[in-house]
Amino acid sequence: MNKGSRIFVAGHKGMVGSALVRHLASRGYHHLITRSRQELDLLDQRAVADFFGQESIDVVLLAAAKVGGIHANSTQPASFLYENLVIETNVIHAAFTKRTPELVFFGSSCIYPKYCPQPIKEEYLLTSGFEQTNEAYAIAKIAGLKLCEAYNRQHGMRYISVMPTNLYGPNDNYDLQNGHVLAALIRKAHEAKMNGLRSISVWGSGSPRREFLHVDDLASAVLALLDSDNAEGTFNIGCGRDIAIADLARLVCDVIGFQGSLDFDSSKPDGTPRKLLDVSRLSALGWTPTISLRDGIAATYADFTKNAQRTGYVDA
């Protein structure tokens, strides 16, 4: 990949896609191709095929997906399975048809089995059962990963799949029903502080452990993979450290300045007990994250308060 490469960032308005655009632009890549959902519906196979026929694309970064937290995944399984399957098959097949030489497919650490040995290696995929709350999403993402593997094996393509850990950062979804845990905690702690509340509710027992990576670190990792001649197959992307949800909630409150208590709602699901990725494959290529969790939360909170009214979170 060079500075003149024509790079299609699918899902450029989302948290991951916007980070990719920011990082690529800052590194001098000036042929970035983006389309809004109104301009290109990735669920429309004919429209996607026509788009690839009209554009000369060198690299596809397939960050477009239907995503959400535990509540969204467990209450909308048909939507998560169908939409993700259709988006990835449309884009990956169209890229292959036009012989697009490079593609990065974005999966997620939640596709691994519920009771995986820790830290989780790439080869642990499909060794046991899923976490039920996100089974539909996991199945769809595994299908995309396997489709990339199939085109590589049958047709000699160089399509890479990345499995990021839990992500956070600018343009996250702060919806309390459909967002992910760190974004929800930021919003809850902020609103509690602004409204003088004495406590905030945290879903689950607080005991599950999760690994968190700032989305700008993810973008730099993807570029490192594309710059490497040795990057093939599937790569976990994470920081190699995890934290209990209870401790994460305390850290968020400390950064934001909320001094109240935490009420853990054990009627809500915990999800997978632990998810810590083995990132040795990626580390062997020389990449390491640079943004600490505290610094990343502080920067994300600043972005949240700056954009709260625009995004509809009006209590900022």
- List, by residue number, the catalytic residues: 137
Name the CA dihedral angle for 167, 171, 177, 182, rounded to a multiple of 10 degrees.
Answer: 40
Q: Binding residue per annotation — 203? A: yes
Q: Binding residue per annotation — 268? A: no
Q: Binding residue per annotation — 169? A: no
CA pair distance 124, 243, nearest whole angstrom: 21
Q: Binding residue per annotation — 101? A: no
From 201, 197, 20, 214, select the one nearest 106 (Cα to Cα): 20
CA pair distance 181, 173, nearest whole angstrom: 10
Place of tokens 């997978």: 272
Q: Binding residue per annotation — 210? A: yes
Q: Binding residue per annotation — 196? A: no
DSSP character for 126? T
Residue 26 buriedness (CB in 10 A; 0-12 / 13-18 / 19+): exposed
CA pair distance 255, 101, nearest whole angstrom: 44
Q: Binding residue per annotation — 11? A: yes
Q: Binding residue per annotation — 272? A: no
Q: Binding residue per annotation — 279? A: no
* 69 touches 179 (CB < 8 A): yes
212: enclosing H helix or E strand? strand 212-214
Measured in whole angstroms, how far is the alpha carbon of residue 29 from the centre of its chain? 22
DSSP H helices in the chain: 15-26, 45-54, 70-75, 77-97, 135-155, 181-194, 215-227, 245-256, 280-283, 293-311
Q: Binding residue per annotation — 66? A: no
> How many CB atoms sit inside 10 A of residue 265's CB?
11
DSSP character for 61? E
Q: Binding residue per annotation — 180? A: yes
Q: Binding residue per annotation — 14? A: yes
Q: Binding residue per annotation — 113? A: no
* 101 touches 158 (CB < 8 A): yes
Measured in whole angstroms, how far is the alpha carbon of residue 218 from the centre of its chain? 9
Output the known binding site for NADP(+): 11-17, 141, 164-167, 180
Output the known binding site: 11-17, 141, 164-167, 180, 188, 203, 210, 270
